Each structure stands twice: as C-alpha cells, then as structure tokens.
C-alpha cells in the first residue's frame, strides 16, 4: 500500500506539473501575465531579456531549495524538489506549443484555471513546485510573525508590482485576476468536487427527527448536547451530512416531525466517511 500510494503521488506530481506548464506556456507567458511567484518573475525576465522561462524558474528554485533545506531540514521534502524540477522542464518543453488566443481576458481566465488545476493536482500529492512556497517558508523562518500564507501573498504582491513596472499596470491588473482564479481553483482541487450539505437541526423532538432520518433517508446522524442561550434549557442538536439532492427530502422530514425545528444548512466541499469517500492510506482516499 505504501508503494501504491507513493506511485499515485508521483503520477499526480508529473501530471500536475505538465498541466501547470501548459497554463504558463499557452496562456500566461505569451500575454505577459506574471501571476505571482517564481513563474511570474520568469515571465518578466523572459520578455525583458529573452531568458527562457523554464530554465529561469529552475535557476531561481535551486538556490531557494538549498537555502530552505539548510534552514528547515526535513520540512522541505524531496517531492518539492521533483515538483519544481518537472514544472521547469515541462514549461520549457511546452514553450513552443501553439497559443490558442491573444485575447487578454480569455488568457487571464483560462491561464488561471489551467495553472490552478496543475498546481492543485501537485498539492494533492503533498508536494509543491517550490518557488513562492519555499521563499515564504524562508521568510517565516527569519520573521516568525509572518505566516507562510501571508508570506506567499506578500511575495506575489511584489512580483505583480514588478510586472506592472516592467510592462504596464493594465497587465498587472489582469495578472491579479489570474492569480485569484488560480488560487480558487487550487482550493477546489484540494478540497475536492464531492460537494455536500451539512445540516444542523435544533429540535425539541430530536430523537424522533433522528429516527426518521435514519429510517427514511438512510443517513447517519450525530447528536450533540447543547443549551439555549436565552432559555438556558437543555437541547439536542443533530448533525447530518447529505448530498445536494437530498436537501428537499430532509427539510420535508424535519418539518413533518417538528415544524418549529431550527435548521441550518451550509456547503461542505469534501466528506470522508461512510456513504461518501473512504480513506485508504496515509490520508489518501478513493471515491466509493
């Protein structure tokens, strides 16, 4: 199982690095969109001095990786080195691929999406492509008050400012949009597409509602003990996770049992457990 998990991780790293490289080579680089990070610096240097994007990224990543290893030791894994290397190599390989559009809006949107899918796939394998991640970890080491996440934002901010100075501020604004899109897509890829609904039910007939959900919907229910903030009376709160298609059914079941029940429904991006997804090893899981 360890070997299988490791193989799956490296397949994701290879695939994600290639997809991310496509986002750079086919959308961002040709349109001077430096959407943050080491890749953004490489885009700026490419258009100013004709430096190859892939090899520039590699040249910037190697000292960052060595510095991070020296300062942080085992916290920087071999997967990060491999991810950064593959991302640079694939970017150089795909540099000659045809550019599907010169439209800035389309390039901004699709570049952000494709880059986000690629990087998100790499991150799911608990790896990274180096660059901003390594730089922010080094920054956090010297300035602990700045978190790794804040460090990434700071570095990306200055990279995009650099692109505005090197090109023009309109391109920098498009780069911000592309960075925002890619970050959201990365979150989506990591959190998964298994959207569900978490439902909290506060009812004086919690036992009856629970029994109906179990028997009529075949969904598990968790019971919490709570106390009303105003009445100070003991109450029971039910937690149930359902699919989007079961929301109407659940509301009907609750209303029929206790019309006065208080119901809270909110989105859940990923659910691991019976009826949804299952762990197989070391925090990895497969869909049932």
Determine the pLDDT at residue 125.
85
Torsion of CA 82, 86, 87, 90, to 10 degrees: 180
For residue 285, what pLDDT is reported?
A: 43
- pTM for the whole thing? 0.76
Q: Give the residues of the chain that fall short of pLDDT 50.
A: 1, 279-288
Which residue intervals of the chain are DSSP H helices? 2-23, 37-49, 53-72, 78-93, 104-124, 132-142, 148-166, 169-191, 206-212, 247-257
Nearest to 208 by CA among 248, 262, 253: 253
pLDDT of residue 169: 94
* Whole-number pLDDT of residue 96: 87
Retrieve residue 124's tokens: 């799911």
- Give the start-to-end residue ranges of the domains of the chain: 2-191, 196-268
Q: Using an 8 Å Cβ cutoff, are 140 and 147 in contact?
A: yes
Q: Which CATH number fits domain 196-268: 3.30.420.40, 3.40.50.2300, 3.30.310.50, 3.30.70.120?
A: 3.30.70.120
Contact 219, 237 (CB under 8 A): no
- Report the alpha-carbon distance of residue 19 to residue 13 in Å, rounded: 10
């Amino acid at each position: 199982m360890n070997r299988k998990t490791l193989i799956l991780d490296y397949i994701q790293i290879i695939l994600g690095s290639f997809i991310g490289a496509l986002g750079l080579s086919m959308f961002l680089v040709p349109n001077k969109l430096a959407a943050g990070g080491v890749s953004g610096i490489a885009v700026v240097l490419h258009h100013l001095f004709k430096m190859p994007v892939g090899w520039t990224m590699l040249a910037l990543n190697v000292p960052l990786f060595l510095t991070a290893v020296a300062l942080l030791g085992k916290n920087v894994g071999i997967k990060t080195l491999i991810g950064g290397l593959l991302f640079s190599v694939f970017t150089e390989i795909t540099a000659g691929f045809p550019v599907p559009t010169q439209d800035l809006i389309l390039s901004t949107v699709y570049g952000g999406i494709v880059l986000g899918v690629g990087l998100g796939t790499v991150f799911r394998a608990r790896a990274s492509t180096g660059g901003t991640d390594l730089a922010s970890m080094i920054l956090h080491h010297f300035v602990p008050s700045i978190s790794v996440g804040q460090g990434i934002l700071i570095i990306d901010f200055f990279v995009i400012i650099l692109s505005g100075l090197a090109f023009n501020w309109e391109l920098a604004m498009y780069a911000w949009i592309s960075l925002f899109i890619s970050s959201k897509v990365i979150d989506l890829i990591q959190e998964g597409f298994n959207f569900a609904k978490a439902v909290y039910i506060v009812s004086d007939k919690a036992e009856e509602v629970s029994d109906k959900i179990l028997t009529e919907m075949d969904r598990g229910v968790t019971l919490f003990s709570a106390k009303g903030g105003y009445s100070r009376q003991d109450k029971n709160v039910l937690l149930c996770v359902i699919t989007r298609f079961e929301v109407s059914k659940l509301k009907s079941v609750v209303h029929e049992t206790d019309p006065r029940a208080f119901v809270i429904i909110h989105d859940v991006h990923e659910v691991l457990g019976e009826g949804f997804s299952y762990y197989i090893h070391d925090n990895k899981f497969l869909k049932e």
